[in-house]
Amino acid sequence: MLKNYSRLQNFFKNFAYSLIFGKSIVQKTFIVIAIILLVSIIVGAVILIAMGGTGKGAERSKKIKAGETVLISKDAGENWERAAILKTFDVREIFLSQKNPGRVFILTKENGIWFKERDSEEWKEMPSLKIKKRSPLYFMAEDRDNLYVSFYSDRRGRIVRYNLESGGEEEIYHTPLEGYGVYGIWPSDDGRVLRLISSDGGFYESVNHGYTWQVVYRFNEGLLGMTLAQAKYILWVITSRGRILKTVNGGRSWDDISLGLKQFDKADKIENLVFDAPSQFLYLASGYGILKSFSGTAQWEALPLLLPPESLPIRDVRLDQTNSNIIYAGSKNQFYKSEDSAKSWRIITLPTKRQISRIAVDLIDNKVIYIGLE
């Protein structure tokens, strides 16, 4: 140790001697630069050692940037930041709990369910013994005590029910035939009556908490989506042929409301269907753009958009729950906002090159908006 210190002393003495008594200006300049570089290296090494000793260096080196899974705006879509999910997943659905307002669930396509609680920035993965890794997720619903998740595993569509109080989970349904999925769940508030739709064309019902099931209606085409109205027994389903069917009696009979869509090219390429309860309009995000129908009937009208045809389809459309004049839409990685019922729009470029898959407006704070990416 003493020898090393003595050598370092001699080294600096020689440098100082050369600097003072060197005859060449070039030589002096070179020595000065060398001294500055050496001092910088020594100071940097001391700082790294000090940080390593306190653990701060290790902590910083392990810090991971958030992934591109969900974007969040806290000012009604004006500015965006990445959610604190440290991985990048494809988002299929964003589910906002009405029973526990402020709780947000993200259904990824094959990477599980992620959620966060109200007033928290931390996202956690929801554990499950029933849903296997890489299982495609399709839909989520809730009653006052439970969550319901539809997923696909071992070549069958399945439903798992989670009890929010006990944390227990149980599988309450799987498709009778292989190769079909469950794309919508509709529980009553007490969880006694459950209804679901399947890509096998069946509209099914259970009146004993999912213990037994019966067919309410059988279609000759698959059912791939479900949208509920707040009014009892009213809902719409999307079929595998791009049709939209409406029932007002819990699925006992159906009307085809997609007949009015035939005048709009590619409107049967349905991306999402959203019902706005305050205005009573049903909104369709599609390959044509955005269309709306009052009370979800067969009379459709197109919303004027800024988008050129090559930037379609519209992946999702949402409305501010306190002001139906405010409309949000997403196409590719562009976010569109209208504050005058689609008469005019603003284009907001998102901090991502990934595409929008879903949009959701927070149920508590309408300035908070979530965007799922894929």
Whether the per-residue pLDDT at 57 is higher than 60: the answer is no
> What is d(CA 366, CA 368) in angstroms, rounded to the nearest whole number?
5
| One-character DSSP codes across 204-242 | EEESSTTSS-EEEEE-SS-EEEEEE-SSTT-EEEEETTS
Domain that holds residue 11: 2-61
156 within some domain: no
Task: Write down the mean pLDDT value for the chain.
Answer: 86
27 within some domain: yes
Q: Each residue of 148-182: pLDDT tens digit?
A: 999 999 999 999 999 988 889 999 999 999 999 99
Label residue 36 by pLDDT band (50, 70, 90). low
7 within some domain: yes
Give the pLDDT score at 26.
Answer: 44
39 within some domain: yes
Label residue 365 by pLDDT band (50, 70, 90). very high
CA distances from 117 to 41, 49, 102, 104, 365 (A): 46, 39, 6, 7, 14
118 within some domain: no
Label residue 33 by pLDDT band (50, 70, 90). low
111 within some domain: no
28 within some domain: yes
169 within some domain: no
Label residue 339 by pLDDT band (50, 70, 90). very high
Q: Record the pTM.
A: 0.81
Give the pLDDT score at 231.
Answer: 79
| One-character DSSP codes across 101-133 | TT-EEEEESSS-EEEE-TT----EEPP-SSS-T
Mean pLDDT of 126-138: 91
Give the pLDDT score at 35.
Answer: 52
Give the pLDDT score at 16.
Answer: 42
- Whether the CA torsion 238, 243, 244, 247 is positive or negative: it is negative
Give the pLDDT score at 66.
Answer: 79
What is the number of structural domains in the chain? Answer: 1
Label residue 62 by pLDDT band (50, 70, 90). very low
Longest dimension (CA), the chain: 103
Label residue 239 by pLDDT band (50, 70, 90). very high
